[in-house]
A = this chain, B = another copy of it.
Amino acid sequence: MMKQNVVEMTVNVIPEPVLRRLPVYYQYLRKINLDAPKEYISCARIAEELNTLAIQVRKDMAVTGAQGRPRVGYKVIELIKAIEIFLGWNNASEAYLIGAGNLGSALLGYQGFKDYGLNIIAAFDVSADKIGSEIYGKKVLSVKKLPDMIKRTGVKIGILTASASCAQELTDIMVNAGIKAIWNFAPVKISAPEGIIVQHENLASSLAVLSKRLALLLAER
């Protein structure tokens, strides 16, 4: 069966597991660069610290194009830069957040996003008592203004923190207005046309892994 079109195939040249590990290295490298800076680091060292294998680290780094030196390792700063550029985190992308509830507010207040080149420039909500307010310095606007704002500002990323029941409707609005990527925190599968990127953040999936492992651990002793 022909599963993927050409664009998607190019995307998938980088395996998703690799993409998901890169930020882990990134966080670690930035941390040591702050806490105990040193010029070079070896794959073996990174692997030991992050509880993985040197080969995997080396392979993962290879996809970013970073180059090391035999007998010495990689330049820490170069690794950080290489990951940043590879993921496009070197220049900020603007995003709108839709749904200023508990989770939405938490994300609005999360300082870490700027390290990943993500800048939430405004939030949208339906609730009258939120509209017009500010949360962590970000304006909360009426969701009615969303289509117009997307068109005017050309923002490409929508962070969807609305309830499950509104998620699809809001997705359609965003897509029609020109949003290209949706980071979905609502606990439902949303559907979007071909070519729109939907990244589903499902707490339940992580919890499932934890639950099952814990159940087995507690049962087998």
Contact = CB atoms under 8 A, between A and B. Distances in A.
A26 B205 CA distance: 10
A156 B214 contact: yes
User: Secondary structure of the A side of the interface?
Assistant: helix
A14 B212 CA distance: 9
Interface stretch (A70-78, A100-108, A141-149): A100-108
Contact of A27 (B89, B180, B188): B188
A4 interface: no
A10 B102 contact: no
A182 B26 CA distance: 22
Count this chain's copies in the assembly.
2
Contacts of A21: 205
A20 interface: yes
Nearest to A51: B191
A210 B201 CA distance: 11
A28 B105 CA distance: 26
Nearest to A50: B189
Contacts of A16: 209
A137 interface: no
Interface residues of A, number: 66
A16 B209 CA distance: 7
A2 interface: no
A217 interface: yes
Interface string A183-221: 100011101000101010111111111111111111010
Interface of A: 7, 10-11, 14, 16, 19-24, 26-28, 31, 49-51, 86-89, 93, 102-103, 105-106, 109-110, 112-113, 116-118, 156-157, 164, 180-181, 183, 187-189, 191, 195, 197, 199, 201-218, 220
12 contacts: A11-B217, A19-B209, A20-B206, A49-B189, A87-B208, A87-B211, A102-B105, A117-B211, A118-B211, A197-B210, A197-B213, A197-B214
